[in-house]
Amino acid sequence: MPDFTKKEGEEVEVVCRYSGEDIAAVKFVYGSEEYSVVSANEVEEVENKVQSSDDERRLVSTNDIAADHDEDDEEKEENARIKRFEEDVTSERLSVRAEENALILRIRNLSLLDAGKYKCAVSNRAGWTERVFHIAITHPPVYRRASDDIIRSSDGNTAQIFCEVSAVPNPIWTWQRDGNELEADGSSIIVDSKGGVTKLTLQNRNGQNYGKYTCKADNVLELLRNLQI
């Protein structure tokens, strides 16, 4: 079960709480992306490195260039420092903030691309520990794959048909034969539906199960897939 189920366009706030001594780092990880808050010390270190680099350049420059460390240079250094800080902390849709013993990830204007597994990773001298959060975005059934449109089977043989969709929440599956709802009997007709996948197993006896079969996935909208055997 997902930790958060949201609609497209909504926002979500994921709170990762932690405890322990000498916490060295806390971050969210989504795929290859990492999101964390830059501490005040880290910002100061970036600023110091920029200043130190300028000092080294002055030592090897002419007197005129060495004397020309004016307000424009200082403004560029400050802008570089601020940009580094803001890129690590926030974007137009995504922001990360730190509170006491908690790191909070906020995503605005959610889309299907934001669905998935988010890890909160915390480290100290003992190592790393992780907690996983799942975000699901509701959407109607979207066809993924299914059996061939035509399934050939002989009397006495078993035929199996399947349909698969992506849908949040999980769909309710129904099967129809020649337009009529099909009822499983546990022997010649077996239906196995789990999440976004449904399987229909048919035991052909004297041609009684030949026909046109339709699988139907329904959560918000309907998706139909016609299969004929």
The SS3 call for residue 108 is coil
Query: Could you tell me if 98 and 104 are in contact, meaning their C-beta atoms sit under 8 angstroms apart?
Result: yes
Strands 189-194, 222-228: pairing is unpaired
User: pLDDT tens for residues 67-112?
Assistant: 333 445 554 444 433 333 334 445 679 999 999 999 999 999 999 9
Three-state secondary structure call for residue 63: helix
Domain with CATH 2.60.40.10 in the chain: 4-137, 140-228
Domain 140-228 fold: Immunoglobulin-like (2.60.40)
* Average pLDDT of every residue of the chain: 78
**Rounded distance between C-alpha atoms, residue 32 and residue 118, angstroms:** 11
Smallest Cα–Cα separation from 27: which of 119, 91, 93?
119
> What are the backbone angles phi and psi of residue 75, rounded to the nearest 5°?
-65, -40
Question: pTM surpassing 0.85?
Answer: no
pLDDT tens-digit map of 169-197: 999 999 999 999 999 998 899 999 999 99
Q: What's the fold here for domain 4-137?
A: Immunoglobulin-like (2.60.40)
Contact between 188 and 214 (Cβ < 8 Å): no
Tell me whether residue 59 is exposed, middle or buried, using C-beta atoms within 10 angstroms of its C-beta: 0 to 12, 13 to 18, 19 or more: exposed
